[in-house]
Amino acid sequence: MMTESANDIDPRDHVAIDAFLEGAWARDGLADLTLADYRGDLERCARWLARHANGLLGASRADLFAYLAARNRSGIGARTNARELTALRRFYAEQARHNPACENPTLLLDAPKLPRTLPKALAEREVESLLNAPDVATPIGLRDRAMLELMYACGLRVSELVTLPLAGLNLRQGVLRVTGKGGKDRLVPIGETCLDWLTRYLSEARPALAKGRDTPALFLSNRAAGMTRQMAWTLVKKHALAAGIAAKRISPHVLRHSFATHLLNHGADLRALQMLLGHSNLSTTQIYTLVAREGLKRLHSQHHPRA
């Protein structure tokens, strides 16, 4: 069985992709995960175009349309296709910027229409069950409890959680310095309950997990190394199962959604929530007002005598 490799791509396309990503990193400060997604999208398209057309640099609008249609027929969803089209648009815009004679084949390509989906949040009682799931009598369980508490207390992305350095935590002031998308830093306050669990973790569990090594990460695996995204996902799923929460309803990001939704439900200001979440645009944060509104509708329909 043949496997895809870098050799399946036209060498000129390879050079162009590398140059584009280096420029995007230097000019826009894109996060490593975003750059990795862009590379994957562009290389995947370049492989297909090398087999069916004239490669990435020689592609026409019809070629790209055929590629996206093939992806759609293979079961790739509209959201993934839209992300790939975003990568292609940025790539070809960069080529046209450096070479005015280069025609941008994505200009007349329409992005697939995406259904509006509301972020899924847990009920407050479900969050309590999840937080109580780890066995805090063990170093691993105490670490997991502190991790879950921090994710919910600060609304962290999983990528932010696993890259947190110990130096980013200020227990005395009760704040956390978080590096978010685009390398942007923000300060997030930590609640008293979460501070108590972090203090216990740092004094009772982290030294045992560190095994005498000077590891900068805040949360450590049982190998004295920093956590990975996959490990965080697995732990959240594991404790959700123990708490009786359906696995398909839970992920690290659901805790972030729950953080935002519960803050709004209790009267938080939208601008303040934007800062806490690290959103560049307020429009991204506004989706949570719809989540809160949907929750109020359900509450009304369940309990009002004339609903």
Which amino acid, one-letter code, is at 290? L
Q: Is 157 a catalytic residue?
A: yes
Please give the pLDDT value at position 30: 75
Eight-class DSSP state of 10? -
Q: Is the pLDDT of residue 5 over 60?
A: no
181 catalytic? Reply is: yes
Query: Is residue 200 annotated as a catalytic residue, yes or no?
Result: no
pLDDT at 4 exceeding the cut of 50? no
Is 229 among the residues known to form the active site?
Answer: no
For 118, other C-beta atoms within 10 Å of its C-beta total 14
Among candidate residues 157, 239, 257, 262, the one labeled active-site is: 157
Residue range 191-222, pLDDT digits in tens = 999 999 999 999 999 999 999 999 999 999 99
Mean pLDDT of 49-69: 91
* Average pLDDT, integer, range 275-287: 77
**Residue 248, pLDDT score:** 60
Go through the domains of the chain in sequence order and give each one's CATH number: 6-98 (1.10.150), 124-303 (1.10.443.10)
pLDDT band at 111 (very low <50, low <70, confident <90, very high): low
Length of the chain: 307
Which residues of 166-256 form beta strands (DSSP E)? Answer: 169-170, 175-179, 185-189
Whether 51 is a known active-site residue: answer no
145 pLDDT exceeds 50? yes
Q: What is the pLDDT of residues 62-108, one digit of tens each?
A: 999 899 889 888 888 777 888 888 899 999 999 988 887 788 999 87
In the predicted structure, residue 150 carries a pLDDT above the cut 60? yes
Work out the angle at residue 177's Cα, subtended by the Cα atoms of residues 213 and 198, and round it to the nearest 5 degrees: 55
Characterize the bridge pairing of strands 175-179 and 185-189.
antiparallel
Split at pLDDT 50, 70, 90, the class of 181 is: confident
Catalytic residue (choose from 89, 177, 238, 253) = 253
User: At 1, is the pLDDT very low, low, confident or very high (cuts 50, 70, 90)?
Assistant: very low
Mean pLDDT value of segment 260-277: 84
CA nearest 28: which of 275, 280, 229? 280
